């Protein structure tokens, strides 16, 4: 959800507290968080309650309520507001007047009024005198009011309007009548009214101007799903009725037989505020918010002994790799290296590397290595060719192609050493491949065949980054006082300089950026990160195996 | 995060309220939600505050606090508890005694005590008489107490112990002294104490029994990152000192220069409670919780005019496809069909299909179609061959292989019709491929080359599911009174029966299960879902194009 004003829309709830966490500002804050909004919350009255009922209510002094409200309003820009339990006339009046005076000169953000009157368990949460204040003072500021059957009846009775809200036709009439009292739009929640799809269809025929939005019900051309799913079209459905300046809209979805309904109204109005904070279209907002709430009920987990809470967490997943930050601009690379610390170290500080840096590595070992590495680099260039084939943009194609060119340049080092020690290019090409070479080379091509481009990038990374690491490590060690590294007269100096040099390190930098960009553009699920990690680890082992082989240990 | 007891660990906070949303139970509930826990919250005292300071404090009667606490405890099983602002001695005593009496006979869940004394802005949030109750009554119940420098000093002074907490050595002494007062473990937070990595290293040498956990700092063998990142090892670091039965551990991480620190302590202790709710290892919990808090600061978004809140949402992403639920067991398939409603309909209710169901389709059109479909199915079988090659388990290999066998059976329908109308198999095989056939066939193989197995599954789905849909739709239409479908004497009856028949529909069902299982095992990011959706839409268009071609419209 993107904000009109910032990365995180700021939403304010003005409501009661439910310590058991399913309703009140607790439900609101959970909803705001799950929908990517920043939540602020002003407490009107506190309850001591749980899933079985309300035990006690405590309302702080009106002046304290006022102080909370101004402390938020004066410091923080609000993108949307919801009101829940307002408890009494004094609190309601304080809320209305403070908002009206604060937004006297600037645009009032969309306000959703959930006219909480009675708890699910039957506890009265609004004193009768407050109703008049809601209607006469709060409604005119309200973008959307969201009564249920009982609340709609109470409000209508108070205003001397027909108060029967028992069926679909009643709901439409009630919505229209309530809207005439001042709010921009009215959403009558139908959770407690039994309706069938047939009734919706009849009404559609009788009142063709009424728009019907089907939610979570199979649509047209879904015979294949219909044939394997339980038929939800014959049972009861839940219909919420929206009336706004653009007309009347019915939101129709399957009735879920559940006792996990504690805080449904709070959650819905909180989700509505989140949706309105980013887009003022009340139909779209209702669609998003009713589905969020419906899924909260469907995904509920048993908690408590009465009417349990919704599951507010159904729509979020945990990141497996953090976003890059100033102090950790390469979180994926770090996570990969950290996850294989010992193997990575055994690779980049291999005995082969240490002897090479000392200049004591036997020429036979080095030549064995250089010949096999020459053969390996053919696989490696081909892997980047495969990456070109798997690319979806010219810039990806360009990056991978430049790496192929770099590999071809890298091979000139191999030719240089061979020529220096009397090995012809023909002999180099004719060298039989060692199993370690085939294993590693064929593995990265296999990863490239099996997975998408991200997995292939992980497969080529251990080689690209590891040789860069070796080059820099040797250089860093060489710069220490009393270093064990011997650069002067080292027969392998060119190798060290090539991998620590600007050109190769430039390729390493490009590789780092590529790896990190993948996780930013498409945050990996846990499973996907584990796949990447497994490929990285395998390649790190294969790299170590390559040097084991070169030293004749294998 | 998996629970010891349920899908969502239940965590309780007993703390104050911050209407501006950055601290108190608001920070706690956001943290619980972001870490996948179910949050309950008992309010001790309310504040009117914002990012610039505390304006007012209101404490409800102790008896009301008691009522809140028992309403939660008596209804809901709690996996971990944190206490924040306890405000005065009476509240503190009520909390301690209620918890002690409730958990008299059953195991007390881990309790994290954040001994909040003074707000970041300097407001006193704990009355002096309460300190004695915290130390003498709450500490013995506490798994972990988390004072900052000021709070540690206050507590130590109160107990007549050395109270200087200015450097690393002081912190270790303070942690040990505080732990001797009763809590199982003590974490002294070092956010306000300036330390360098050199001091940590010196201390490590002097006190080798002290364990050091580096967090968010480059480790060994990360020269490649060191060469491109800002060096954080020379600047100040933050050190939190944990002392527990297993010894002393220092948690060392980069100091982040930020004014977004409002609610840091609340967030940390809330995250600690979440971690302890699933695993009692206090070192692991501290590692998780300190990093969660650190990333909250690093990812902060400017809110308010003073010390802004952390970003509690840094570790979560939004689902792009809901989890399967009883009323929507095939959410991914539904989302795909709904996202391409018109094109899908133009495909499955194509004029070709309608004429075929009426039996009025010209034989020439049908034969043109059947020949091209025969050629297409070769690509299609090969695509499943590629899927075999991309599989990672024998069961995936088995499923894809069975589909190849099904395709080979399907082709016998094609041969049947051709034979019936005098077209030899040789003529069938020699038919030149129409561009619509090549486009579709080559496209799915290209998707298979480019992406991973999930994308290939989406590419083959439009054909598999669409023909199943056509078969069922014709059958359903045929069953209506006064149907327009003519089955009797329809020259294409075998085609209809094949695609609506048990064998093909079995394959459709397997396909549905495969598609849904992919999204469950590896919830797609927004980007990834868009990729799947694009492939699905493209194939749906290509299917429609195939029938356009068959009818000679193209």
Dihedrals φ, ψ of B242, to 5°? -105, 130
Mean pLDDT over A210-228 rounds to 93
Among positive and negative, which fits the CA dihedral B123, B126, B131, B135? negative
Pinpoint the alpha helices (H) of A279-362: 282-298, 331-339, 341-348, 351-358
Q: What's the pLDDT tens digit per position in A438-471?
A: 999 999 999 999 999 999 999 999 999 999 999 9
Mean pLDDT over A96-114 rounds to 95
> CA triplet B231, B237, B243: central angle to 5 degrees?
140
Put simply, whether B60 touches A (Cβ < 8 Å) is yes
* Distance between CA atoms of residues B440 and B546, nearest Å: 8
Residue B223: CB atoms within 10 A of its CB come to 21
> What is chain A's alpha carbon radius of gyration, rounded to the nearest angstrom?
33
* Distance between CA atoms of residues B417 and B495, nearest Å: 9
Using an 8 Å CB-CB cutoff, list chain B residues near A449.
389-390
Crossing angle of helices A493-500 and A394-420, in 10° steps, is 170
Q: Scanning the structure block, which residue is given the tokens 């007549």?
A: B160
Length of chain B: 554
pLDDT above 70 covers a percentage of chain B that reads: 98
Dihedrals φ, ψ of B56, to 5°? -155, 155
Are A465 and B224 an interchain contact pair (Cβ–Cβ within 8 Å)? Answer: yes
pLDDT(B382) > 60: yes
Put simply, whether B528 touches A (Cβ < 8 Å) is yes
End-to-end, the C-alpha distance of chain B in Å comes to 55
pLDDT(B509) > 50: yes
* Distance between CA atoms of residues B71 and A51, nearest Å: 9
Structure tokens at A36: 């990517």
What is the count of residue pairs from A and B with beta carbons less than 8 Å apart? 338
For residue A208, give how far its alpha carbon lies from the nearest alpha carbon of chain B (Å). 22
Structure tokens at A142: 């309200």
What residue of A is the nearest CA neighbor of B465? A224
Among positive and negative, which fits the CA dihedral B184, B190, B196, B199? negative
Put simply, whether B342 touches A (Cβ < 8 Å) is no
SS3 B236: strand
- Angstrom distances, CA of residue A121 to CA of A23, A51, A127, A160, A308: 12, 8, 17, 27, 11
Confidence label for A2 from pLDDT (cuts 50, 70 and 90): very low
Pairing of strands A247-254, A236-244: antiparallel
The pLDDT assigned to A341 comes to 86
The pLDDT assigned to B552 comes to 85
Cβ A25 vs Cβ B19: under 8 Å: no
The pLDDT assigned to B84 comes to 97
Domains in chain B, please, with CATH? 10-193+258-299 (3.40.1190.20), 331-551 (1.20.910.10)
Q: What is the 3-state secondary structure (H, E, C) of B289-313?
A: HHHHHHHHHHCCCCCCCCCCECCCC
Residue A239, exposed/middle/buried by CB under 10 A (0-12, 13-18, 19+)?
Answer: buried
> What is chain B's alpha carbon radius of gyration, rounded to the nearest angstrom?
33
CB proximity under 8 Å: A 93-152 to B? none
Cβ B282 vs Cβ B251: under 8 Å: no
* Distance between CA atoms of residues A262 and A297, nearest Å: 9
- Angstrom distances, CA of residue B324 to CA of A414, B84, B464, B508: 55, 38, 21, 18
Q: What is the mean pLDDT of chain B?
A: 94
Q: What is the mean pLDDT of chain A?
A: 94
CB-closest option in B68, B75, B522 to A305: B75
End-to-end, the C-alpha distance of chain A in Å comes to 55
Q: What's the pLDDT tens digit per position in A14-33?
A: 999 999 999 999 999 999 99
Confidence label for B473 from pLDDT (cuts 50, 70 and 90): very high
CB proximity under 8 Å: B 409-468 to A? 449-453, 455, 465, 468
* Distance between CA atoms of residues B121 and A466, nearest Å: 48
Structure tokens at A105: 């000169």
Crossing angle of helices A526-550 and A341-348, in 10° steps, is 30
Confidence label for B105 from pLDDT (cuts 50, 70 and 90): confident
The shares of helix, strand and coil residues in chain B, as percent rounded to the nearest 5, are: 55, 15, 30
Q: Is B441 in the active site?
A: no
Mean pLDDT over B14-28 rounds to 97
Using an 8 Å CB-CB cutoff, list chain A residues near B236.
none
- The CA-based dihedral angle spanning residues A522, A527, A532, A538, taken in that order and rounded to the nearest 10 degrees: 180
Cβ A216 vs Cβ A291: under 8 Å: yes
Mean pLDDT over B30-34 rounds to 98
Catalytic residue among B90, B263, B451, B468: B263
Dihedrals φ, ψ of B359, to 5°? 80, 10
- Angstrom distances, CA of residue B299 to CA of A327, B258, B553: 11, 10, 56
* Distance between CA atoms of residues B430 and B437, nearest Å: 14
Are A41 and B52 an interchain contact pair (Cβ–Cβ within 8 Å)? Answer: no
Mean pLDDT over A514-525 rounds to 94
Mean pLDDT over A145-158 rounds to 95
Structure tokens at A339: 């996850």
Crossing angle of helices B394-420 and B363-389, in 10° steps, is 160
From the list B195, B320, B326, B307, the residue with the least C-alpha distance to B258 is B307
Put simply, whether A326 touches B (Cβ < 8 Å) is yes
Cβ B255 vs Cβ B280: under 8 Å: no
Q: What's the pLDDT tens digit per position in A32-57?
A: 999 999 999 999 999 999 999 999 99
From the list B247, B244, B252, the residue with the least C-alpha distance to B282 is B244
Put simply, whether B281 touches A (Cβ < 8 Å) is no
Using an 8 Å CB-CB cutoff, list chain B residues near A345.
220-221
pTM over 0.90: yes
* Distance between CA atoms of residues A231 and A8, nearest Å: 39
From the list B236, B67, B22, the residue with the least C-alpha distance to A18 is B67
Residue A217: CB atoms within 10 A of its CB come to 16
Are B46 and A60 an interchain contact pair (Cβ–Cβ within 8 Å)? Answer: yes
Mean pLDDT over B446-459 rounds to 97
- Angstrom distances, CA of residue A383 to CA of A402, A418, A441: 13, 25, 9
Pinpoint the alpha helices (H) of B6-47: 24-34
From the list B427, B456, B435, the residue with the least C-alpha distance to B515 is B456
Residue A43, H or E segment:
strand A38-50
pLDDT(B3) > 50: no
Structure tokens at A533: 């990690």
CB-closest option in B26, B229, B392 to A39: B26
pLDDT(A553) > 70: no
Cβ A17 vs Cβ A47: under 8 Å: yes
Confidence label for A155 from pLDDT (cuts 50, 70 and 90): very high
- Beta-ladder partners of B185: B144
- Angstrom distances, CA of residue B151 to CA of A180, A292, A526, B270: 57, 42, 38, 18
Mean pLDDT over A147-159 rounds to 95
Residue A270: CB atoms within 10 A of its CB come to 34
- ipTM for the predicted complex: 0.95
pLDDT(A285) > 80: yes
Q: What's the pLDDT tens digit per position in A173-194?
A: 999 999 999 999 999 999 999 9
The pLDDT assigned to B553 comes to 65
Mean pLDDT over B509-536 rounds to 95
For residue B45, give how far its alpha carbon lies from the nearest alpha carbon of chain A (Å). 10
Cβ A418 vs Cβ A370: under 8 Å: yes
Are B522 and A523 an interchain contact pair (Cβ–Cβ within 8 Å)? Answer: no
Least confident of A412-421, B26-35, B47-56, B164-173: A412-421
Contacts of A420 (CB under 8 A, 6+ apart): none
What residue of B is the nearest CA neighbor of A39? B21
pLDDT above 70 covers a percentage of chain A that reads: 98
* Distance between CA atoms of residues B488 and B497, nearest Å: 12
Q: What's the pLDDT tens digit per position in B267-307?
A: 999 999 999 999 989 999 999 999 999 999 999 999 999 99
* Distance between CA atoms of residues B366 and B353, nearest Å: 10
Crossing angle of helices B341-348 and B331-339, in 10° steps, is 90
CB-closest option in A218, A315, A449 to B319: A315
CB-closest option in B43, B76, B328 to A20: B76
Could you please report the per-residue DSSP string of A343-398? HHHHHHT-HHHHHHHHT-S-HHHHHHHHHHHHHHHHHHHHHHHHHHHT-SSHHHHH
The pLDDT assigned to A133 comes to 95
């Amino acid at each position: 959800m993107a904000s009109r004003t910032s990365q995180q829309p700021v939403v304010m709830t003005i409501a009661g507290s439910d310590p058991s966490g399913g309703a009140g500002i607790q439900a609101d804050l959970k909803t705001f968080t799950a929908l990517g909004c920043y939540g602020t919350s002003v407490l009107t009255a506190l309850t001591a309650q749980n899933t079985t009922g309300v035990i006690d209510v405590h309302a702080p002094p009106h002046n304290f309520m006022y102080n909370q409200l101004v402390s938020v309003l004066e410091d923080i820009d609000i993108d949307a507001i919801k009101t829940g339990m307002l408890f009494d006339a004094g609190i309601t009046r304080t809320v209305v007047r403070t908002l009206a005076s604060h937004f006297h000169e600037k645009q009032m953000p969309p306000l959703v009024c959930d006219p909480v009157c009675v708890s699910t368990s039957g506890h009265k949460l609004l004193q009768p005198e407050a109703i008049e204040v809601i209607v006469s003072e709060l409604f005119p500021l309200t973008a959307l009011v969201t009564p249920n059957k009982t609340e709609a009846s109470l409000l209508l009775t108070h205003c001397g309007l027909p108060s029967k809200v028992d069926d679909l036709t009643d709901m439409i009439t009630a919505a229209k009548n309530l809207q005439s009292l001042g709010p921009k739009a009215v959403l009558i929640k139908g959770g407690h009214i039994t309706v069938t799809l047939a009734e919706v269809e009849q009404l559609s025929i009788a009142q063709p101007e009424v728009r019907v939005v089907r939610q979570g019900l199979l649509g047209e051309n879904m015979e294949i799903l219909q044939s394997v799913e339980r038929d939800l079209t014959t049972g009861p459905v839940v219909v919420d009725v929206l009336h706004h300046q653009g007309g009347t809209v019915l939101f129709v979805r399957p009735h879920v037989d559940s006792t996990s309904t504690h805080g449904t109204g709070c959650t819905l109005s909180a989700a509505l505020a989140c949706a309105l904070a980013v887009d003022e279209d009340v139909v779209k907002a209702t669609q998003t918010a009713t589905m969020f709430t419906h899924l909260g009920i469907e995904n509920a987990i048993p908690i408590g002994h009465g009417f349990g809470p919704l599951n507010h967490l159904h729509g979020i997943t945990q990141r497996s790799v953090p976003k890059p930050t100033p102090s950790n601009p390469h979180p994926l690379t770090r996570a990969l290296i950290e996850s294989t610390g010992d193997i990575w170290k055994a690779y980049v500080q291999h005995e082969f590397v240490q002897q090479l840096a000392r200049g004591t590595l036997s020429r036979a070992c080095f030549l064995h290595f250089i010949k096999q590495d020459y053969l390996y680099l053919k696989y490696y260039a081909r892997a980047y060719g495969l990456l070109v084939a798997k690319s979806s943009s010219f810039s990806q194609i360009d990056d991978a192609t430049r790496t192929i060119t770099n590999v071809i340049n890298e091979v000139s080092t191999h030719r240089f050493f061979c020529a220096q020690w009397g090995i012809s290019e023909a002999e180099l090409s004719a060298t039989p491949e060692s199993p370690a070479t085939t294993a590693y080379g064929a593995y990265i091509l296999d990863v490239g065949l099996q997975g998408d481009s991200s997995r292939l990038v992980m497969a080529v990374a251990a080689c690209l980054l590891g040789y860069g690491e070796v080059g820099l490590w040797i250089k860093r060690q060489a710069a220490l006082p009393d270093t064990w590294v011997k650069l002067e007269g080292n027969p392998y100096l060119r190798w060290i300089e090539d991998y620590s040099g600007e050109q190769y390190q430039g390729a390493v930098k490009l590789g780092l950026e590529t790896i990190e960009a993948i996780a930013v553009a498409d945050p990996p699920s846990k499973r996907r990160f584990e796949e990447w990690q497994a490929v990285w680890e395998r390649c790190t082992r294969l790299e170590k195996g390559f040097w084991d082989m070169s030293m004749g240990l294998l």
